Structure 1
Amino acid sequence: MYLNCKTFFSYRYGTFSTEALVKEAVEVGASALTLTNINNTSDLWDFYELCLEANIKPVLGAEIRNGDHFLYILLAKSTTGLLHINQFLTKHLQSKEPFPERPDLNADVWVIYPLGQLPPAQLKEQELIGIQPGEITKLYAIDVAHYPTKFVVRQPVTFKTKVHYNLHRLLRAIDHNILLSKQTAEQIAAPTEVFLSPTKILDAFRQHPQMITNTLRIIDTCNYEVDLASDKTKKVFSATLKDDRILLEKLALDGLRYRYGTGNREAEERVRKELQIIDKLGFNSYFLITWDVIRYAQSRGFYHVGRGSGANSIVAYCLQITDVNPIELDLYFERFLNPYRTSPPDFDIDFSWQDRDEVIDYIFKRYGEQHVALLGMYSTFQYNAILRELAKVFGLPKHEVDAIADNPDATLQDDKIQKLILFYGSLLQNFPNYTSIHPGGMLISEEPIYQYTALEMPPKGFATTQIDMFVAEKVGLYKLDILSQRGLGHIKDCIQLVRENKSISIDIHDVEKFKRDPQVADQIRRADTIGCFYIESPAMRQLLLKLRCDDYITLVAASSIIRPGVAQSGMMREYIYRFHNPDKFEYLHPKMKELLEETYGVMVFQEDVIKVAHHFAGLDMGEADVLRRAMSGKYRGRKEFDRIKEQFFTNCKELGHPDEIAKEVWRQIESFGGYSFSKAHSASFAVESYQSLFLKTYYPMEFMVAVINNFGGFYSTELYFHELRRAGAKIHAPCVNNSTELTDIHGREVYIGFIHIKSLQKETVGRLLQERSRHGSFLNLQDFIHRTGIGTEQLNILIRVGALRFTGKNKKELLWEANFLSKRVKEKDVVGTALFQDKPVEFKLPVLYHTPLEDALDEKELLGFYLCDPFSLVDADPKAFVPARQFKNHAGQSIEVLVYYITQKPVRTSKGQLMYFGTFIDSNGDWVDSVHFPDSAVKYRLTGQGFYHIKGKVVEEFGVYSIEVKWMQKIGIKQPAPL
């Protein structure tokens, strides 16, 4: 009877969650239920599973609309019908073409039109007319008896109660971006779109029993045979399953010789063991597809990092999918594969942000658009966005919106409206708002992808699923993560710059050499890691200093213990203490020593948690794997997680573990929730960190230019130019005769790229570079204006940033002359190189003074940072303050420092109060880390860029010093001297 039900995946329309819709159907006594979201099949498989669990027959379909105009309902008779519905949706969603008034679909799909759209005489065999209870009186004008099979009951379901009807109206107003008072009836659902009981529906149609019969008949024809547990990713890479097994074995054994030479029995035994399990679990194709992607990338000269649980695999190492040696690191094999595992191991493949799209394009072309898609995800309504959207709908002015966004307890003049916003805002929390793209997930299916989802076409230009990774895994589609990061761009570009600038070729894959290099070790020990992938943040640099880290194994551990779970549970500090004092602590339990001696009894990696869950608490590997997935944020089944938690404590009791120890072990396990890394994952990160460190150690200028040109890293561009200067480079402002679009280096001379100049148009840069390339350097201001035809506004920007200083004139002189010459060129309309060069116009001007401070202010405005030492501008004497390098002489004492802001990290205390960790540099360019506890954070706010005078106490932890802020004041720059 319920042929037209919607959830909140009818974006900005439906109000039921998928679970709530099925639950409500159970309560009204429904025996069958149809899901027909608007132009969408996002939660179809969640719905399917929930219905089966509730002993309700699921019917799958979609409601088709053009804007507010309802066209028809599509119901799949079979999985083939579902495929056709998804193809139909995909075609129109991707092309942005309106849906047709009458779809051309085959007999596997029922089409149900609203009353009045088509006369019954024109209907095809699979076409029907849906009648709502309130429309029965309109049937008197139709000879219903003449078309006994063409009419069915259509009771739409959109909301549960009047409150949810109001929420629906608010969603529709948000969608239309209008005031609630301006809403029309055509834009919203009728108030009757609720679950009527079967009895009420039967009563409403008592004069038309044939319609009830037709409806039940339609439901009976819709049947699906879907084994959600089976793997539906591409099963065969080559010709047959047997060929895949033989090919993977050949490639793995070839790679074994490449990685380990000949005669390494331990490595060979592990390779053969893995190959057997990979074949048994049906993962040959998954490994071969990943190898194929890497092979293509290598043929194009792209760098990559392979990580994820698949990096625990020696086969992946031999196939060069990863650069992590599982034997060297004693990687836990069962983290990668175990008999309970049904999904393939995770492979996260990082490419440079410049190369990733080409790799994705290759996968689409290699495996076919019928079988490949990017994985979708959902953007949801969150607190601040909800408040602002609802405030707009109610017509509140911006200052009142800001007031409640900043302080939910604030009382507005119209308290009634505020209460409505907060009430309906709480209901709207976490509703899906629109489809977005998963950061890197791709699906490659054996059957056409439309069997499981419709596809959309975001601006990026690659087909993207309407389902997210949780639904994809529920169906049996397992993602391959093709990710991008700028760290690989740094490496690739730095190698190219070193080749061009120093004629040196670098084998960046010789990581074993980098691990043994004493200068690289010293670089890590000093935490001189700015620009280096994953190890440049203030927190990571402090951790490296506290650990006095100078080797690969310690760096692997550091890459994991920095994660919030370990850090916030207090175990990071405990790890550092135990690392330096291995004989001064006791293990929580003898079993913990046996399992975790390498990490001093601290659970650092996902593998550690799996080992403890299995060997300490007696959970089987399947249950331990659920814990692993929950820790990595990839598990959605809370009931199963709670069951395993109960089993954990039951087993511990049976094994005789004291309650206090069991509780502490569980506390440590639970702290990992959503944040943990596998050891192989951390090891992969550490490999890339070493590659960056090697380049920074031996080629610091080229490395920093590469970081700047990839626009990536933890810090602002200003800090990377600061590091570049510290490395010995001479940095020049942009120059029309020497600069390119990106920053360039020749020897030690660095010219800032035009791309860093704010408001300078891309067209201007392109024309400038093209003209210079064709006809050589510009001779003077007049020559520049004539040859580029540049407008006055863009010309003034270049002058103010110093890009025409080659003329030998100061900026004020150039600005005056430019104003005159630009008009003259406009009048003569001359652009390009003349056959004979005009003699430059000579101007007689009074003396126009220009100061270095004015240059600095122009640089700050146009580039976002000063090119000079910023401390030369501060309105204070840096020598009057304690420098960072003397902090160790003032431990526990109150001091005053003068610092330049770099970044800050806000955090919440256990009581929910806001505090900050600040990062600054002093006048020597050394780092100053600050702690701003809640009292100080409230009184003395960090307000972004600039200089700060700070008073506070020097505190020390594991040999690392910071300042605990008691008082703080922002300091300005010097004022220009009067003329």
Structure 2
Amino acid sequence: MTSPTFTHLRVHSEYSIADGLVRIDDLVGAAAKDQQPALAVTDLANMFCMVRFYKAARGKGIKPIVGVDAWITNDDNRDKPHRLLILAKNRSGYLQLCDLLSKAWLTNQYKGRAELRVEWLEALATSVSTLEPEVNQANALIVLSGAGFGDVGQAIDNGDIARAEKAAERWARIFPGHFYIEIQRAGQPNQEQQVRHSVALAGRLGLPVVATHPVQFISKDEFIAHEARTCIAEGEMLANAKRVRRFNEEMCFKSQAEMAELFKDLPGALANSVEIAKRCNVTLTLGKPQLPDFPTPAGMTIDDFLVAETKKGLEERLIQLFPDPAKREAERPRYEARLEFENQTIIKMKFPGYFLIVAEFIQWGKNNGVPIGPGRGSGAGSLVAYALKITDLDPLKYNLLFERFLNPERVSMPDFDIDFCQEKRELVIQHVKDLYGRDAVSQIATFGTMAAKGAIRDVGRVLDFGYNFCDGISKLIPFKPGKPV
């Protein structure tokens, strides 16, 4: 295998929501076909696809590079924010990106954009990494200037070279040894002027130059589909001559050979993309639950507390199930043996905290007037859940199997199916936030995709076809619940 000559560092996947059409499997497949040893996905202001991309890339023997195409607030004109491409060098950098993006979405949105602020990035240079105490936070990130979208590039486009130099010097000061001037040749207006001035500026300041290519879709054939998707997101019409056209058919996935031809006069800029890929080494632990610490009485481990609580709960359940003491004592050995078995399995699989957390908020809900279902699904097969009052069905009475819910042979997070009254469920969520901290609680995100019927109607609208025509086509698509066409 020949040495790589280029690595894609700027890719917008379909998770960029408004301006990406790249499916992760197609992207990784294209990189593998071109024998690229590394690849980055840098969606716009989010890292939604990170886990899926990380798994897919490693599955094909490609090093995944984690990063983001970030909006940067422009205080001179909030309607014209700048952009920076930020890549994580290591796990510390990845966590830093998570923190920055969360802060942007929670505290600094403008017209739907989650923007980072320069002062947040400046603060990194003086803060120390908790994972690597010998380095500051800024050294866990690699930053690219954003080409024509960054403050350096925008100043060059405006003919203000002095302002461009000032901006580049500031980023180089914040990220010493980790800041690159980014150049592109993707069919943008004034691209050669941008490249010429950027390279000259980098030479004067002693900064490295890196060539990137904005990948919005895989092949040129997908350009019209990408434009249609962009129009759907922006409420535009494809044929509108006055709409802003930010993309062109060159913004597809290019091979190393194509990039070498594009930048044959600047081979060093291509080589730097490979060097950046070598510097980025994010290793993540996936599939391992990260649960908050459940508070236990002083001197008692969480395992011991689970056993004590389940024994106490079982005694209450036995009194309820078997009011006759003689009958109760006759049945007790069967229940205690099952409880012992389940407790040992839960402790072995390190899930005591999960059961105690779920039991606490369910009991809180029941005590505060929130209607809660008796439990359904495989969780109803757990006697521990019954003893902790998570469920209200006696699994032994109905011969329900605990192994269907939790099995050492199939290590996965147990999942209780609990029904909360929709009118009062918010009270339970607020209680959990109060107990564990607002920043430690989140609800599961669901990504909605365009099904065939809806896609045809939306695409027909941006193509300016009549509604009745598009509706007629969409009605020809069969409706199969659970099996979308």
Please name the residue that 2:84 is paired with. 72
| TM-score of the aligned structures, taking structure 1 as reference length | 0.40
Is it true that 1:160 corresponds to 2:218 in the alignment? yes
- Is residue 317–residue 323 contact of structure 1 (8 Å, CA) maintained in 2? yes
1:121 partnered with 2:169: yes
| Secondary structure, aligned partner of 2:412 | coil
Contact 2:182–2:210 at 8 Å: present in 1 too? yes
Aligned residue for 2:268? 210
What amino acid is the match of 1:301?
Answer: G
Are residue 382 (structure 1) and residue 434 (structure 2) matched?
no
Hey, what's the Cα distance between the residues in 2 that align with 1:201 and 1:239?
Answer: 63
Structure-2 residue corresponding to 1:104: 120
Distance (Å, rounded) in 1 between the aligned partners of 2:268 and 2:299: 52
Q: Counterparts of 1:100 and 1:316 in 2: how far apart (Å)?
A: 44
Higher relative contact order (CA 8 A, sep 6+): 2
Aligned partner (choices 292, 295, 302) of residue 244 of structure 1: 302
Deviations 1:168-192 (A, max 9, x none): 1001111111211126674432322
Partner of 1:182: 240
Answer yes or no: is 1:131 the counterpart of 2:183: yes
- 2:340 and 2:45 map into 1 onto residues whose CA distance is 49
| Counterpart-to-counterpart distance in 2, 1:321 and 1:2 | 49
- Offset of 1:336 from its aligned partner? 2.0
Is the alpha carbon distance of 1:14 and 1:136 closer, same or farther for their aligned partners in structure 2, counting shifts above 3 Å? same
Tell me if the contact between 1:169 and 1:188 (Cα under 8 Å) persists in the aligned partners. Answer: no
How far is 1:389 from its partner?
A: 1.0
Shift of residue 325 of structure 1?
Answer: 0.2
Structure 2's unaligned 5+ residue stretches are: 1-6, 73-78, 125-137, 148-152, 155-163, 320-327
Alignment-mate amino acid for residue 17 of structure 2: Y
Alignment pair present for 1:342 and 2:411: yes
Tell me if structure 2 keeps the 8 A contact 1:159–1:168: yes
**8 A Cα contact 2:179 2:207, kept in partner:** no
Match of 1:194 in 2: 252
The alignment partner of 1:401 has SS state of: helix
Question: Could you report, residue by residue, the CA deviation over 1:873-901 in whole angstroms, capped at 9, with x for unpaired residues?
Answer: xxxxxxxxxxxxxxxxxxxxxxxxxxxxx
Q: SS state of the match for residue 39, structure 1?
A: coil
Partner amino acid for 1:59?
I
Of 109, 128, 140, 2:196 maps to 140
Report whether the alignment pairs 1:296 with 2:364: yes
Matched, 1:316 2:368: no
Which residue of the partner structure matches residue 89 of structure 1? 101
Contact 1:64-1:71 at 8 Å conserved across structures: yes
Instruction: Give the drift of 1:89.
Output: 2.1
- What SS does the aligned partner of 1:4 have? coil
- Name the structure 1 match of 2:132: none
The amino acid of 2:145's aligned partner reads: Y
Matches within 5 A, 1:845-864: none
1:140: how far off? 3.2
C-alpha distance after superposition, 1:713-732 (max 9, x if no partner): xxxxxxxxxxxxxxxxxxxx
Equivalent in 471, 478, 482 of residue 402 of structure 1: 471
Give the superposition deviation at 1:242: 6.3
Amino acid at match of 1:15: L
Q: Closer, same or farther in 2 for the Cα pair 1:93/1:303, shift >3 Å? A: same
Taking only aligned residues, the RMSD between alpha carbons, in angstroms, comes to 2.8
> 1:408–1:332: structure 2 CA closer, same or farther, 3 Å change rule?
closer
For the Cα contact (< 8 Å) 2:16–2:43, is it kept in 1?
yes
Query: For the Cα contact (< 8 Å) 2:87–2:141, is it kept in 1?
Result: yes
Moved more, 238-247 or 29-38: 238-247
Matched position secondary structure for 1:348 = coil
Q: Describe how 1:500-579 pairs up with structure 2 within 5 A.
A: none
Q: Is the 8 A contact 2:382 2:401 kept in 1?
A: no
Deviation at 1:78, TM superposition (A): 1.8
> 1:42: which partner in 2?
48
* Cα drift, residue 327 of structure 1: 0.7
- Superposed displacement of residue 335, structure 1: 0.8
Residues 318 and 395 of structure 1, relative CA distance in 2, 3 Å threshold: same
Q: How does 1:561-710 map to 2 (within 5 A)?
A: none
In 1, Cα distance between equivalents of 2:67 and 2:228: 26
- The alignment partner of 1:174 has SS state of helix
CA distance in 2, matches of 1:156, 1:190: 10
**C-alpha distance 208-103 of structure 1, shift in aligned 2 (>3 A):** farther
1:360–1:274 distance in 2 versus 1, CA, 3 Å: same
Once the two structures are superposed, residues 441-487 of structure 1 have per-residue CA deviations (whole angstroms, 9 ceiling, x without a partner) of xxxxxxxxxxxxxxxxxxxxxxxxxxxxxxxxxxxxxxxxxxxxxxx
Query: How many angstroms does 1:121 deviate by?
Result: 3.1
Evaluate the alpha carbon distance shift between residue 85 and residue 30 of structure 1 in structure 2; reply closer, same or farther with a 3 A threshold.
same
2:460–2:470 CA contact under 8 A, matched in 1: yes
CA shift digits 1:362-420 (9 cap, x unpaired): 112211233221000111101221122112111123333333333479xxxxxxxxxxx
Identity among equivalent positions (%) equals 27
Question: Are the aligned partners of 1:149 and 1:214 in contact in 2 as well (CA < 8 Å)?
Answer: no
Quote how far apart the aligned CAs of 1:237 are: 4.7
**Equivalent in the alignment of 1:269:** 337
Q: Quick one: distance in 1 between partners of 2:347 and 2:241?
A: 60
Q: Which residue of 2 aligns with 1:882?
A: none
- Cα distance in structure 2, aligned partners of 1:223 and 1:20: 23
Q: 1:221 Cα deviation (Å)?
A: 2.0
1:221 corresponds in structure 2 to 279
Q: Is the 8 A contact 1:38 1:63 kept in 2?
A: yes
Of Structure 1 and Structure 2, the greater strand share is in: 1
In structure 2, relative to structure 1, the CA distance for the partners of 1:277 and 1:235 (3 Å cut) is: farther
Change (3 A) 1:37 1:190: same
Amino acid in the other structure paired with 1:304: I
Task: Return closer, same or farther for 1:241/1:49 CA change in 2, 3 Å cut-off.
Answer: farther
Q: Identify the residue that residue 37 of structure 2 maps to in structure 1.
A: 31
1:127/1:14 Cα in 2 relative to 1: closer, same or farther (>3 Å)? same
Deviation at 1:71, TM superposition (A): 1.4
Residue 14 of structure 2 corresponds to 8
Aligned equivalents of 1:58 and 1:14: distance in 2? Answer: 18
Q: Counterpart amino acid of 2:341?
A: K
The number of aligned residues is 413
Equivalent runs, 1:406-421 vs 2, <5 Å: 406-407=475-476
Distance change (3 Å), C-alpha of 1:46 and 1:363: same
> Which AA in structure 2 matches 1:358?
L
Residues in 2 aligned to 1:48 and 1:255: alpha-carbon distance in whole angstroms: 43
CA 1:346 to 1:192, structure 2 compared with 1: closer, same or farther past 3 Å? same
Letter in 2 for 1:393: V
In 1: Cα distance, 2:412 partner to 2:295 partner: 17
Q: Which letter maps to 1:112? A: L
Gaps of 5+ in 1: 410-563, 565-673, 676-911, 913-979
Q: CA deviation at 1:101?
A: 6.9
Instruction: Identify if the C-alpha distance between structure 1 residues 183 and 32 changes in structure 2 by more than 3 Å, giving closer, same or farther.
Output: farther
